[in-house]
Amino acid sequence: PPPPRGPAGYVVAPVGLDALERDLAAIAERRFGGRDVRLLIAGHDRRAIAAFKVPGAAPGSDVSALPLWGKLPPGAVWTDKISVLGPHDEGGERMIGAIETLPDLGWAVAIWRPEPVAFAALDEMRRRGVAVAAGALLLAIALAAFTARHVTRPILHLVAQARLIGARRWREIALDDAQPARRDEIGELTTSLRRMAADLEQGEADIAREAKLRGDLGRFMDRAVVDAIVRGEHPLALGGKRATVSVLFADVVGFTPLAESRDAERMVALLNELFSMLTEIVFRHGGTVDKFIGDCVMAVWGAPIPQADHARRALAAAEDMMRFLETANEEWRERYDIEIRLGVGVNSGEAIVGNIGSDKRMEYTVIGDVVNVASRLEALAAPDQVLVSEATRLLAGDAFPLRALGERNLTGRKTTTAVYALDPG
């Protein structure tokens, strides 16, 4: 029988926010030159968590009086996914700001700048477009009386293209074949317009691509890993490489019978709550969520960024998952009339890590026997039990209370495997 359970609880410790504020300052310097920009991260009670150049926004201070909150819809809460963008007045100055909530953390991230600064690039683009359009138009008028129709037509075409550039209607611009053989002023003007349109479109595409990449990767990876990928330190290309990793599988024990006897929508809501917290625990310990398989989650440590202590991180995450269930089940019994029990398997070893799939649809994953053994250990685990391989035990050392269970036969393996149980700490 399992050992008697003592009272459950959490230990609360203060966490310094200096690193988060330094990150905000670094982002402001890298993206905006550190000038004329304000960044703020606030909790659900609208108290500052970290800020950059926001007067009076020390960590823990009340920032509910800031004018930018007026852009939020009435009754907005941080547990909802909200993204707003628009102007507001601050101390008599017109500002352009954006707010986006992070429901999993209960945070809101806000950024705002003076309107002239925010629209400086757009204004410059418009001025250049208008200047080119005006120049092309004046040139067309001056030459109309002295040139034949075959000269007037390309000039009018350039005027139309300049207007499309000024309106940022990239898909409608047709300059590639406008004047392929001309070597006069019209040909030079066409070439300049083509380059300007390409540069402006590429700039917008780069910004959109980076934003989408961060958003997509942020659902599966820790923020430090996402930043490294966006910086190009870990390119998202097909292929893989060998790495020593620790793999964790956490599966809801007996979920199928539970789901058959209960409302499907309520079970999906419960699974979403469970996976949200398990994902947060994986991120908290520097891991990557590899995939969700039905009612099971697979996580990995040691890739794509190497971690010397990947085994300890994986076991610490497993411990936190069990502690979380002790508290969460009290609420789930009241709301869903159900208790969730997890079986967890952890294994360490060498694997192939990288992007598998095609150029149009790829998946970052881990492949190798280390994954198979972790999955078999999870299948062998009893409810509320964490089973650990010999390889993980050796890498983790004496940092965790591991109890030997002897040699076990795992499905699909010819030899037996030494198995250990991670006892509650």
What are the residue ranges of CATH 3.30.450.20 in the chain?
18-118
Question: Mean pLDDT highest for which of 31-45, 96-110, 216-230, 306-320?
Answer: 306-320
Per-residue pLDDT tens over the stretch 318-371: 999 999 999 999 999 888 888 899 999 999 999 998 877 776 666 778 999 999
Return the CATH class of domain 240-422: alpha beta
Residue 146 has pLDDT above 60, yes or no: no
pTM attached to this predicted model: 0.50
What's the confidence (pLDDT) of residue 170?
Answer: 55
Which CATH entry fits the domain spanning 18-118: 3.40.50.970, 3.40.50.1970, 3.30.450.20, 3.40.50.2000?
Answer: 3.30.450.20
| Residue of 88, 153, 149 whose CA lies nearest to 115 | 88
Between 43-52, 172-181, 280-289, the lowest mean confidence (pLDDT) is in 172-181
Give yes or no for residue 71 having a pLDDT over 60.
yes
User: What stretch(es) of the chain map to CATH 3.30.70.1230?
Assistant: 240-422
Residue 293's closest CA among 331, 334, 252, 238?
252
Alpha helix positions (H), 119-235? 120-144, 149-166, 185-217, 223-230
Q: Tell me: the pLDDT tens digits for 49-68?
A: 888 888 888 888 898 888 87
CB 314 within 8 A of CB 395: no
Give backbone dihedrals phi and psi of 361, rounded to 5 degrees, phi first: -150, 105
> How many Cβ atoms from other residues are within 10 Å of residue 37's Cβ?
20
Residue 179 has pLDDT above 50, yes or no: no
